Chains A and B, each alone.
Chain A
Amino acid sequence: MTTATWNLVVYAIAGDAKEHQAVLQAIDDMRAALTTDRCHIAVQVMAKGQTTRYWISSADKHRTEVLDAVDASHQAPLAAFLNLASKRFPANATALTLWAHGSGLDHVHDYRKKPGGPGGGGLGGAAPARGLLAGDQAARLRTPYARALSPRGRLDAWLPRHPGYGCRWGPDPNNGRFLTNVTMKKAIAASLTGHVDVLAINACWMATLEVEYELRHAAAAMVASQVYATAWPYGAIVEALAHRPDQTADELAQTLVAAVAAEIAAGKRDDAVSAFRCGAAMDALAGAFDTYAQQASGLIDTDWEAVRQAVMEDVQRLDDPYQADLASLVALLGKHDPRAQRAGQAVARQLDAMRIGNAVHHQHPGLHGMSIFCPKDLEVDLADAYAGTEFRANAWAAFLAKFQPRLAAS
């Protein structure tokens, strides 16, 4: 087989029959749209009790392999599939799409709900236990999702979650566990190429600075959504790629955004998607934001009312209760302070410079493609939310740690 320009690798979780049908429809659409031998498509679908691989190329239209279930919360299956795809379909570049449920930062919970640990592990004390199960574990088992799990899955569901931190992508349909962004990063790094060219996460709320910073060296460009996301138009994406298979990573990221934008314009969907350059550009963004956050932290002491007003009332929120639009934040928090204003403008300039594409339905006004963790909730365990992530060293973590008790005291 000759070396193609692009491999589109789709790594998907089908948690129920409806989701499985959606993935199968996408596979049909992609197969119909693939009209060139310069691109190949590899799909791994992890469903309950079974994993299926689909190898799609114009020459050898469609091959299917059925395997036993794999644990999608571990790094090994993702790294193995990336390796197998690159061997089976040699290509100059790889676009990896991770298609499942997501929620941005993973370990966002209240202090009092922090599991286990001496003294309860959180500032709010131990998790309340009732019988053999903690309250939240028992509640988890009563959900329709838990009832649908296998006996082994139910067992895993009430066991304490493994100590991974980062974005929550999944869950694995057999054990209910999630792939964190740290594990996602390690999986891509452990693959033969050590990175992909485009990383596209088709899941809710993953277009956050924290997630994209964690994954900045995993890809040249990243595509994700700030809001509740629905399935992307995979057939249209492959059609555009087949029409112009020599796209750069930036251009393919733009192709993805354009395909979603076309559906938004046609009234077929109401979500959002954005694309950013990663690597050094993301380092520069995080650095600029660190400087800005230091300035903003000082304002908690000197201009508390303006800080409170900005965070609690003015900054553009989205449909996740813990996130705010990054561009809106740096424009509004500190707008009365010249130093904070200059630092915020530097963040905005960098964000504009690295944004490759952004498509937003009109029901999400004021979204600029990237979010930031900015809870208004006094009970959110801030340290745990950032634990294990590279972003925890950013001055924004210190801002939040200072803001929360000040808000509680006000």
Chain B
Amino acid sequence: MHETSMDAHKPAGPTLATNGKHAPAPQLTRLTDSIELVAPPGCSASVVLKLVKRDDGHRYYAFWLVAGRHDLEAATVAYKHTGEDAIRCDLPQGMPLSAAALQPHLATYLDSLSEKGGDPPVITH
């Protein structure tokens, strides 16, 4: 796979899974502008999770957009930023697209932001 200007979205290095093997880790970023969502090379999909609900103790994120990729063929989906909280997740090849797989990475990412409204996230599906 050739390198492109999309290297900025290159997935983070592998993390150690509980079975001792390295598991691919997604790259998470908060969206702050409207974008054309395209999964970067090396990824199987880019997902946008949007904060849709919260209650006493949780923030609930929903799958809002998914743009798939296979080798050089990639879908492009327009995302209009409205000011609402939206998290982009670039899923490296080999990582399953599921709420269960993404949830710990989303929790770690949000925790790293040290925000003062930081209830644990739940990905609804």
Contacts and interface: CB of A to CB of B under 8 A. Distances in A.
Nearest to B51: A321
Nearest to B32: A363
A18 B84 contact: no
Interface stretch (B1-9, B91-99, B116-124): B116-124
Nearest to B52: A321
B114 A231 contact: yes
A394 interface: no
Contacts of A321: 51-54, 84-85
B83 A317 contact: yes
A110 B55 contact: yes
A228 B85 contact: yes
A21 to B, nearest CB: 11
B56 interface: yes
B18 interface: no
B113 interface: yes
B84 A318 contact: yes
A80 B38 CA distance: 56
Q: Is the interface of B mostly helix, strand, loop or mixed?
A: loop
B19 interface: no
Contacts of B117: 101-103, 203-205, 228-229, 320
B20 interface: no
A365 B33 CA distance: 9
A103 B83 contact: no
Contacts of A320: 51, 54, 85, 117
A108 B83 contact: no
B115 interface: yes
A216 B55 CA distance: 25
A108 B54 contact: yes
Contact of A109 (B30, B32, B56): B56
Contacts of B53: 110, 321, 377, 379
Nearest to A225: B116
A205 B116 CA distance: 9
Given A317-B83, A318-B84, A231 B55 contact: no
Contact of B116 (A136, A203, A379): A203
A143 B57 CA distance: 9
A228 B115 contact: yes
Interface string B51-72: 1111111100000000000000
Contacts of A367: 83
Q: Which of B32, B55, B116, B120 has the most CB of A within 10 A?
A: B116
A144 to B, nearest CB: 7
Given A145-B120, A168-B56, A318 B83 contact: yes
A270 B117 CA distance: 14
A161 B55 CA distance: 12
B96 to A, nearest CB: 22
A346 B85 CA distance: 30
A100 interface: yes
Interface in A149-198: 161, 168, 178
A240 to B, nearest CB: 22
A328 B54 CA distance: 23
Nearest to A169: B116
Nearest to A314: B82
A145 B54 CA distance: 16
A302 to B, nearest CB: 26
Interface in A304-360: 316-322, 325
A158 to B, nearest CB: 11
Contacts of B116: 99-102, 202-204, 225, 228-231
Contacts of A103: 54, 117, 119
Interface in A197-214: 202-205
A78 to B, nearest CB: 18
Contacts of A319: 51, 83-85
B68 to A, nearest CB: 26
B55 A144 contact: no
Given A143-B58, A145-B57, A321-B84, 11 more contacts: A100-B116, A108-B55, A109-B56, A143-B120, A204-B115, A229-B116, A231-B116, A317-B82, A320-B54, A321-B54, A365-B83
7 contacts: A22-B114, A178-B56, A202-B116, A203-B116, A230-B116, A270-B32, A363-B30
